[in-house]
Amino acid sequence: MNLRELSLQLKACHIPRRLEVPLAGYTWLEVGGPADVFVEPRMAIEAATALRLAAEHGAPVLVLGRGTNLLIGDGGFRGMALHLGPSFDDGRVVVEGRGCIAAAGVRLSKLLERLAVVGLGGLEDLYGIPGSLGGALAMNAGAYGSAIWPRVGWIELALPVGRVVMVDAAKIEYGYRSVKLPPGAVVTGARLRLERSDPRELLDRHHELTADREGKHPLAFPNCGSVFKNPSRYNTAARMIEACGLKGRSVGGAKISEKHANFMVNTGGASAADFRALIELVRDCVEKEHGLSLCTEVRLAGEFTTDENDLDDADDGGEVRDGGSA
C-alpha cells in the first residue's frame, strides 16, 4: 500500500485530498483517530477515480457521509477515507413529476423538507434521521415501519474500476437495514419514486416526528442513533437491553442512555474503545438473559486498541460504508 503515491496521483487528478485527518470531527460520536488519506470528491466521476486509484495502490476505503452510525477506532483508518459530505451536496435535487433525483451528500431531512413543500410524500416517516441520502441508501435506513429502498427507482454508483453507472433498483437486493451493492461500489445519487400528498399534512408529520424524537432520544449528547438492529418489530433491542438493567451503564465516557436503551452517548472524553467495550457488554448480557445475539446497526471501522473479537458488522481496516441512523 503506497499511500504517498496515491496522494500524489489524487493531486494530479485535482481531487481534493488531505493527509492524516482526524476523523472524530466527522462522526456523531465524536471519536476516532486519523485517516491516512482523506478525500472529498465534488462529483461522481471524482469519487470513481479516487476508488480506482485506491484499488490500484491496495488502499482500503472508508466511505463517510455524515458519520451518523459509524464508530471509528482510536488508532484511525489505515487507507483512504472518501467523504461524500457538503461538497457532494451542491443543492443537486431535481424534482421530476412524482419523483426526484438527488446527490448522495444531501442531508436526508433537508431533502424531505423540500419534497414536502412541493407535495411529494412516501418517505415522510424518515424525517429526523440525521444522515445523508447516500448513507440512508447504503444501509436501507428506516423508521416507524418505513424504509427508503422501496421508494428507489435507480441509483448512481461509483465503481472501483473508475466508472460511474446507473442501476435499476430492482436489480439490487435489500433487506432490513441492509443493501447488497456491487463489491466496492459507492452510492453517489439516486432517483426516488414518490406520491402526491398534501404539503400541510407532510409538514405536520415532520413536526410530529420531531417532537417524538426529541421526547424519546438523547439528542443533547453526541450519539450514533440506534446501536443494535431490532430482532423484530415487537421484540426490540431497547426492550431487551432495558430488561437487563443496563440503562445508565457506563464504560469510561461512553454511556447507555437512560432515555433510550438502544442509544449510547458520549458524555465527554469517551474513546472508541469505551464504546466497543460497552457494545460487547450489552451483547453478552442480552445473549445470557434472552438467548439472542444482537447484531450491530452501527458500523465499525479502523484500528481499535482492544484485542476483542470483531463484531458481526465490523470490518477493521477494510471497506466500510457509512449509513444513517434510525
Q: Which residues contact 288 (CB under 8 A, 6 or more apart)?
A: none
Q: State the Cα–Cα distance between residues 210 and 127, nearest whole angstrom.
A: 8
- The strand pairing partners of 178, in sequence order, are 175
Q: State the Cα–Cα distance between residues 73 and 242, nearest whole angstrom.
A: 27
Catalytic entry in 226, 257, 271, 325: 226
Phi/psi region, residue 162 (left: phi>0; alpha: psi -120 to 50; beta: rest), is left
**226 among known catalytic residues:** yes
Catalytic entry in 191, 297, 299, 325: 297
Catalytic entry in 151, 177, 205, 321: 177
**299 among known catalytic residues:** no
Q: What is the crossing angle of helices 44-56 and 3-12, to 10°?
A: 150
Residues in the chain: 326
**205 among known catalytic residues:** no
State the cell numbers at 40.
472529498
Cβ(168)–Cβ(191) below 8 Å = no
Q: State the Cα–Cα distance between residues 186 and 203, nearest whole angstrom.
A: 31
State the cell numbers at 75.
488508532
Q: State the Cα–Cα distance between residues 116 and 77, nearest whole angstrom.
A: 38
Instruction: Report, as residue numbers or ranges, the catalytic residues.
Output: 177, 226, 297
